[in-house]
Amino acid sequence: MTINWIHKFDNIQTKQVHNLMSNEWWCNKRTLAEVEKVMEGSNVLFGAVDANGKIVGFCRVLTDYVFKALIFDVIIEAPYRSTGLGREIITNVLNNPKLSEVKSFELYCPDKISGFYKNLGFCEYESKLLGYKR
Ligand SMILES: CC(C)(COP(=O)(O)OP(=O)(O)OC[C@H]1O[C@@H](n2cnc3c(N)ncnc32)[C@H](O)[C@@H]1OP(=O)(O)O)[C@@H](O)C(=O)NCCC(=O)NCCS
């Protein structure tokens, strides 16, 4: 399986990310304009591109480059799941030179996915998350 990794997305690739998001429960209501804004507003983007030039994996990171990095929207396209691509995208985040000083990588995830991240060294933090919704 030939996969290339990219950090910059053209218009077609951004639409492909929007399409990936449209199949996932937490982000399937996002418009293309929102996805464009979210990508512009993220610090580091990760895309897996298959041999046909299609985006088949994505995640994005918000960070202060020193203390914290929040990982969002980790998605591998369904036919490519269970092939190691999910592990590769998270490993790429943890090893990215721009994020080399970051002390804590954090993410939201439902219990049923937590095993995937725990396999990669993530653990549950004791501190409780507070939120303010509007
Ligand atoms: C979760 C997801 C990113 C995993 O990617 P993937 O490419 O299927 O995972 P990999 O093939 O790299 O698996 C790596 C390891 O994690 C394990 N794993 C994969 N999904 C898992 C899950 N849901 N729970 C526990 N372990 C899991 C695999 O068995 C594998 O273990 P191994 O090293 O012992 O073989 C992918 O399934 C996905 O995109 N799901 C839909 C979107 C989603 O839920 N994203 C996460 C939001 S928090």
Please report the DSSP string for 52-81 in residue order: TS-EEEEEEEEE-SSSEEEEEEEEE-GGGT
Q: What separation in Å is there between the alpha carbon of 116 and the centre of ligand 1?
A: 5
**What does DSSP assign to residue 40?**
H
- Domain 4-108, architecture per CATH: 3-Layer(aba) Sandwich (3.40)
pLDDT tens readout for residues 49-64: 999 999 999 999 999 9
* Confidence label for 1 from pLDDT (cuts 50, 70 and 90): confident
Burial profile 13-35: b = 16 or more Cβ within 10 angstroms, e = fewer: bbebbbebbeeeeebeebeeeeb
- Name the residue with higher pLDDT: 113 or 1: 113
pLDDT digits (tens, 9 = 90+) for 15-62: 999 999 999 999 999 999 999 999 999 999 999 999 999 999 999 999
Q: Is the pLDDT of residue 126 over 90?
A: yes
Q: Are the C-beta atoms of residues 12 and 6 closer than 8 Å to each other?
A: no
- Residue 113 in contact with ligand 1 by CB distance below 6 A: yes
Most ligand 1 atoms within 8 A of CB, residue of 22, 23, 60, 76 to mutate? 76
